[in-house]
Amino acid sequence: MNISVIIPTYNRYTLLKRAITSLYNQTYQPKEIIVVDDGATDDTFQIKNDFPEILYIYQANRGVSAARNVGIQKASCKWIAFLDSDDEFHPQKLQKQVEFHKKNPAILMSYTAENWIRNGKEVKIPKKYRKIGKDIFLENLSYCNIAPSSVFLHRKILDDVGLFDENLEVCEDYDMWLRIVQKYEVGLINEKLINKYAGHDEQLGFRKDMDEIRIDILEKLVNNCAISHKGDLMQRELNEKKSIINKKYL
């Protein structure tokens, strides 16, 4: 099973080296590592000298969605894994997902649990982000419960649902995973196989307007949903988020 790992990055040279090193430490090695430099102004360009085997692509700054999309378009393998440049894989991450998909060939996407690390220490994950795997659609309806760095999927899915929405500065993962889980069975490997680091500069995951952005995404998905009961659930979630926002404004 050949794997392309796609790493979008922007001004994270030191963190990027840690991320790539975690790929070299995998018990199941990817066929290719694609780094998409989204217009960095630091020393990120040096990464091609540090790791000559990687495919390094530079583009003018267009955002994480565009960077991931460029990586997907350049990838030569049918199976794709994503790795954010401030995260890292545990050594058996890819191997465990490969084994899962070999045992479950009809499932074309899986994700894993993760460690959250702040200031060098593991921190407790908020309840809303804990993995259950019972109903992955419902678990991702209110908040994005799937970390991009945990995802492993077949490109058939992306050929069907499309690429990341480049109009979204944040919540692009929430949009993508909802597009997928409303149509496809997705597997959870409930082991902590990635490290997510918090507390450094340039993180995009925390903005005051996140719920407003999720509302826009849900409105789009509700209008395009072909599965009636999931469309109803998204409409209910949309109404709840609008009600919360209205109360905040009042």
pLDDT recorded at residue 5: 98
Q: Which of 189, 206, 223 corresponds to the end of one domain?
A: 206
| 69 and 119 fall within a common domain | yes
pLDDT of 178 higher than 80: yes
Of residues 223 and 156, more confidence is placed in 156
Domain holding 222, by residue range, is 208-250
Rounded Cα gap, residues 36 and 33, in angstroms:
10
pLDDT recorded at residue 100: 98
| 216 and 199 fall within a common domain | no
Rounded Cα gap, residues 230 and 222, in angstroms:
9
pLDDT recorded at residue 208: 59
Rounded Cα gap, residues 131 and 145, in angstroms:
7
pLDDT recorded at residue 143: 87
| 133 and 87 fall within a common domain | yes
- Computed over every residue of the chain, the mean pLDDT equals 92
| 163 and 213 fall within a common domain | no
| 117 and 234 fall within a common domain | no
CATH number at residue 87: 3.90.550.10
| 110 and 219 fall within a common domain | no
pLDDT of 204 higher than 50: no
The answer to whether the CB of 40 falls within 8 A of the CB of 116 is no
| 44 and 63 fall within a common domain | yes
pLDDT recorded at residue 56: 98
| 41 and 76 fall within a common domain | yes
Q: What is the mean pLDDT of residues 120-146?
A: 88
Rounded Cα gap, residues 191 and 111, in angstroms:
10
pTM: 0.92
| 16 and 75 fall within a common domain | yes
| 28 and 82 fall within a common domain | yes
Half-sphere exposure of 99 (CA within 13 A, CB side): 8
Q: What is the mean pLDDT of residues 62-75?
A: 98
pLDDT of 246 higher than 80: no
pLDDT recorded at residue 29: 98
Q: Which of 191, 206, 221 corresponds to the end of one domain?
A: 206
Rounded Cα gap, residues 151 and 108, in angstroms:
11
When divided into structural domains, the chain yields a total of 2
Q: How confident is the model at residue 187 (pLDDT cuts 50, 70, 90)?
A: very high
| 30 and 124 fall within a common domain | yes
pLDDT of 26 higher than 70: yes
| 118 and 168 fall within a common domain | yes
pLDDT of 115 higher than 70: yes
